[in-house]
Structure 1
């Protein structure tokens, strides 16, 4: 008899309040955000306390959770105000904080009792004894190091009841568990205190000495050298994650767009629901993967889950094209009698172009733009101005918070490895 599977939560990034609401509308069970202190994304649209209150209210009304990342590595003086910060989060109703530094963990437990603490991936938890240690300290969930393999996750799940959270989609830091000092040296910005300049993704020439003279060894038809990894995607392997007992499937990308957040959250929601509903008869739909490629910015791989990454999982070598879709508009309203949708423009589009609509839980559909009107109901050929209000005839019913995108260039896709 098959064991009863626990459906994992789909955990999406939310760089600001708009993204929080979109992620939840598009299927996320939980979101993680940043406050205005103690996090690792100083350039993200971090939340004020008032925005947190609104976000928590929105999430809890829809049975979703909100976690706050406070995962910086604290130097002397960095912990000032942490107790008040954690108390405020607790009183707002934040469901948990994600922390890596033992000092901040200790402060949180002492000054904000009742606020759950999750261990950040920055802490490099790679075995069940480590999870048991943190359980003894009072933590209920651990975000596993990105370097753990699937077999290691299975072993961890068999030997501890601590909740496991694992990254399943998004950017992969080239350094071990994100603990990098390259940005400190290259840009004098501390990556572990929120200032990462992403120096690993800069494009470098690569030289060797040839008869005493430097010679660039990067060919003209190759990308300049970088130290950046391709992105992670476990879309085809969600069954393995569920069977291994992973409690939370985490999507990276607090600085990504609402186009990205909505698409990725929606796709993983579909896959998780489909597998958990009938695991014995689950069949992977290639359309799910095709959907992810519409927002991919780099090639995709399975990271460390099934083998040690090689140079093929690094962004270097022959130039590789990836999908290029532009987020064109957001639906504000739809009149079913006239089949006219009111849109807020996000990227230039016009009559004669093929576009695609998609919405929460809905399969997208394509059509050609045949007519456009501005906010004064005057006919126009294009919608060139950012955030302008336009109207168009739509072939199928849509609703508020549906999105419209358009294909920019032809693509050459690389399969998930």
Structure 2
């Protein structure tokens, strides 16, 4: 076992002013003998505790033919356990004045609760049951199989643009990496998965040495540590070595063009999607700022120039999906009447080229730095935000103390960084250009 006490008095940056010190997050870290990483942040301001268990497993851990497993377990692990009856996870939390939920993405699955502080033992017991005794049986699997298929039908199959964004574009951007598969999975994989398949996945990934437990809020430090050891220390360590060999994609050499006929939409749209670096890369921080320059608020470039001034698009914007191994930067627009998809593409490309050539103004850069500093402080304002950030920095950077210092990376971004990163990644030979068209309008491209 190793124990590290983080008091955050000796920060890497010596230039923190007095106001920043008010927001320093103190925390305690230790690892149990079974590999469970524990982070505790004590704050007695309100009589609440925020608890999360973050498993380092997402859709990228799935193999061909078995997509959707991580998302499936997000559902399945609410079915009950050896000592928790079917459907009682939510009842336990709600009847004790709390709330709980879970999420899955490409790289992680997280379960979390917010409860009155005297209910910390309940939250820890429920999470230990989930980790050790989750019901992975035929009945539970069949129930959740239908739930997930219905969710896919409602959120993907029957929504405009969603299938293009979540399935088609990733499958074109990535040829080898599992990021090519949708998080929710494919219908045939959901139908073909067996109880043995799910049991193997559970036994492999939902183990203490693949998890980070974070508790934030009003609790006694010694008591919390004893409770965590009581509920979690006896859970066996997983046998797998979780260091995955990185799957590297070949550089893209030319633009990939694709037309997707979407039965759910009446307005054609263009989606320009670029493969960009992993979330821990310095370039990823710069791309976040570029994303906001393009489409954060009415004064952003895309909204001001393309939507409001030129009125070429009824709606347009950008987004950055940051992931552990790669990222996806997307710029999109839905055409106005009388504008073709090719015309809108050219107008968007003109905005990209302007940024690559001229960069950003001093005002734009300062505005974005102020935005990210404000967001950095507000994200650490609530116990649930602190819990999420401690998990995030610990998982991806192996340094939870970045919760206090990561803002410096944004503050150090220069105008030259913006131009350099835009020229490096926002190129036609590094993208998928997808036209999403109604089934009666698929001639409105080239």
Same fold per TM (> 0.5)?
Answer: no
Decide which structure has greater strand share.
1
Higher relative contact order (CA 8 A, sep 6+): 2
| TM norm structure 1 | 0.25
| TM norm structure 2 | 0.24
